[in-house]
Amino acid sequence: MRPLPRLFAVTTDAICRAPDYLARARAIGTSGLHAAIVVRAPASTAAEQAGFATETVAKVGRSDSRTVGPDRGTAQVIVHARPDLARAVAADGVQLRRQDLSPADARAVLGPGWIGVSVPDRAEAEAAIEEGADYLVAGNVFESPSHPGRPGKGTGWLQEICSLGRPVVAIGGITPDRAIQVREAGSWGVAAISALWDDPEPERAARALLAPWADPADRGGELQLTVNGEAKRVRNAATMAELLARLELDPRAVVVELNRRIVRRPELADTPLRDGDAVELVHFVGGG
């Protein structure tokens, strides 16, 4: 099972039916294993929901989403309310409401995969944990465009839910500034609808929401480096060895200097990269 995502992009019927849905979902998916698309279309028929989920797994996730591997550039796929459908399309998990199957019963149907439960209060959170939920989606934390007029419960309430010992994903009125607040309250991650799907640049929006949890040296992250005097943004390069692989350079034929220090070949895999590092690479070829 892949790591629990930090960002959950929740759909609606209208979002799933939009002609650019898959393109926008793929853009969100460039956040890699940090992001999940929650396929939610409650007003659609079962056949339509199956179609949305199948397409999302095929075009945004991967064909066998339970196989462990790096699979960079893809999102996980979580199916809303339907563990049977999640299993049928090989999704990464299911997101339940309290009126759906219990987590224990959903596990019997789903098999391996994440099981989350949406909770509005502490009592339901405790019940979901007791019944086997892997994570909780708690909200609404702030007033949300999808539920206008419903007051937010606030970060103090969220902190209480986070104290129960399960990863908590905050939902409701989440913006990049508020993402910082919910992380400080102990939230594992965030879920959003309009903040992602209404943004003209969904990839940028996803990265902004993920920023409070971002480790630039993480495998799914992006580093700003200076390589041979030229500014360069590099993804999926947590170590010097990975940077050479990204640049398609043979470590046996290159001299590496990091921040004016020579890095010997046996040290390449154990030398981490950080934002702002200066790298000098001198590569050579043999002759005869």
Share of the chain above pLDDT 70, in %: 90
pLDDT of residue 286: 54
pLDDT, tens only, 64-97 = 434 333 334 479 999 999 999 999 999 999 999 9
Distance in angstroms (rounded) separating the CA atoms of residues 156 and 164: 14
Strand order in the sheet with 230-235: 230-235, 222-227, 278-283, 254-258, 261-263
Domains annotated for the chain, with CATH where assigned, are: 7-213 (3.20.20.70), 222-283 (3.10.20.30)
Rounded to 10 degrees, the C-alpha dihedral 102/105/110/114 comes to 40
- Using CA atoms, how far apart are residues 125 and 167, in angstroms rounded to an integer? 11
pLDDT of 251 higher than 90? no
Residue 98 near residue 117 (C-beta atoms within 8 A): yes
Q: Which two tokens stand for residue 54?
A: 């199948």
Are residues 227 and 277 in contact, defined by beta-carbon separation less than 8 angstroms?
Answer: no
Q: In terms of pLDDT, which residue wins out, 267 or 157? A: 157
What residues contact residue 188 under an 8 Å CB cut-off, 6+ apart? Answer: 4, 6, 135, 167, 168, 169
The helix or strand, by DSSP H or E, that contains position 113, with its residue range, turns out to be none
Please tell me which residue, 259 or 37, carries the higher pLDDT value. 37
Element (H, E) at 90: none
Q: Which amino acid is at 161?
A: I
pTM: 0.73
User: Which tokens sit at 285?
Assistant: 């070829």
Q: Which residues contact 96 (CB under 8 A, 6 or more apart)?
A: 81, 83, 103, 106, 115, 116, 117, 118, 133
Distance from C-alpha of 117 to C-alpha of 181, rounded to nearest angstrom: 22
